[in-house]
Amino acid sequence: MEKERSGCALTGIMNERGRRFGGEAIIKSIAAMHERSNGLGGGFAAYGIYPEYRDLYAFHLFYSDEKVKGETEEYLDRNYSIQKDEPIPFRRVERIKQPPLIWRYFLKVKAERLNEHHTLTEEDFVVKTVMEINTTIDGAFIFSSGKNMGIFKGVGFPEDIGSFYRLEDYEGHTWIGHGRFPTNSAAWWGGAHPFGLLDWSVAHNGEISSYGINRRFLLNYGYHCTLFTDTEVMVYLFDLLGRKHRLNFDVIAKILAAPFWDEIDRLEGFELEFAKALRITYSSALVNGPFSVIVGYGRGMVGLNDRLKLRPLVAGRMGDMLYISSEECGIREVCHSPDKIWSPKAGEPVIGRLMD
């Protein structure tokens, strides 16, 4: 059987003034692209949903059983002050089968633990926690670890996953959604999109043929790929380049979807030298293969596709609202007459930012 290489649905909705709205819109948008999924994965990321805990890290975890949960909580209790923990609310949905234990924690890093790891920032310490739990505690998986945001995902069609997690009960200023059509990896709850680390979340359509070299490059900076899918490298690349190296999204786009050398050779002056420096310095961060991604973070949302535009991506604006989707129908389903709608060029980022 020939593989389907154009599947997966992406959608993102953001209010750039920070106005919060319910999860019904993102579910309606992703459901309009139902045929781009096959029921083996769906998920959402939402920002601004935990205002009462905005200064705490919100960890969302999957557990295989209560024993693993107890072991993980011992680890968390040694390193964090647990302000609140509870099962993530859900409702029974007929097509959602055998969910794991799904729990959330609102945490503050213990000062004494940071003092013991004085070379790490607080965010680095959280990254260390995610990597350690996901690689050393079998049956435990942190799939969301940011502040005032959360990822909700699982095995099923995305509209069923949205209903399962009762997303209509949440309000956020930015939502991204994903409907999965897996080609190279197994379907499991942790392998559904979006993938997250700190407040980054990434929904991806396509294949990353450079996964091996990207993974080895990231390992040099302490990022361990454990999720059996190529998409994982994308969220770590955004964390490394955006948070650690403090690059803006226009520069990150020039690294991940770098222009070809013949294009660079046609540049002049500073643009030529800068493009050459990026290609040389970050050669192992170049993402090859057909892809489009929508990236959420605490202050905004970004859309990007590969340097040949081998995967679709459409953007639209209506007043303070920014929409990004795999297809125009994903936008028009929730915004019938946008002020502007366009198809970004290959490697050209669509950037939405919260207004101060």
Instruction: Look at residue 125 and tell me if it is in a domain.
Output: yes
Which pLDDT belongs to residue 231? 81
- CA 280/CA 155 separation, integer angstroms: 40
Provide the CATH number for the domain around residue 271.
Answer: 3.60.20.10
Is 1 among the domain residues?
no
In a domain, 303, yes or no: yes
pLDDT at 229: 73
Phi-psi region of 321 (alpha: psi -120 to 50; beta: other; left: phi over 0): beta
| pLDDT at residue 230, as a whole number | 78
Residue located via tokens 């209790």 = 77
* pTM, two decimal places: 0.94
Determine the Cα–Cα distance for residues 151 and 235; give it in Å rounded to an integer.
Answer: 13
Q: Where are the alpha helices (DSSP H) in the chain?
A: 24-31, 66-79, 111-116, 122-136, 158-164, 211-219, 232-238, 249-256, 261-265, 269-281, 328-332
In a domain, 223, yes or no: yes
State how far the alpha carbon of 344 is from the alpha carbons of 9, 158, 290, 326, 329, in Å. Answer: 17, 25, 15, 11, 16
Q: How far apart are CA 316 and CA 313, in angstroms?
A: 10
pLDDT at 187: 72
Catalytic residue among 8, 225, 329, 335: 8
Rounded (5°) CA angle 234-239-244: 145
Report the number of distinct structural domains present in the chain.
Answer: 1
Q: Is 8 a catalytic residue?
A: yes
pLDDT given at position 185: 60
Contact residues for 245 (Cβ-Cβ < 8 A; gap 6+):
none
Query: Tell me, what's the pLDDT at 226?
Result: 73
User: What tens-digit pLDDT sequence spans the chain (356 residues)?
Assistant: 344 445 788 999 999 999 999 999 999 999 999 888 887 889 999 999 999 999 999 999 999 999 999 999 999 999 999 999 999 999 999 999 889 999 999 999 999 999 998 889 999 999 999 999 999 999 999 999 999 999 999 999 999 999 999 999 999 999 999 998 766 566 778 888 999 999 999 998 888 899 899 999 999 998 988 766 778 899 999 999 999 999 999 999 999 999 999 999 999 999 999 999 999 999 999 999 999 999 999 999 999 999 999 999 999 999 999 999 999 999 999 999 999 999 999 999 999 999 97
Containing domain of residue 101, as a range?
A: 9-353
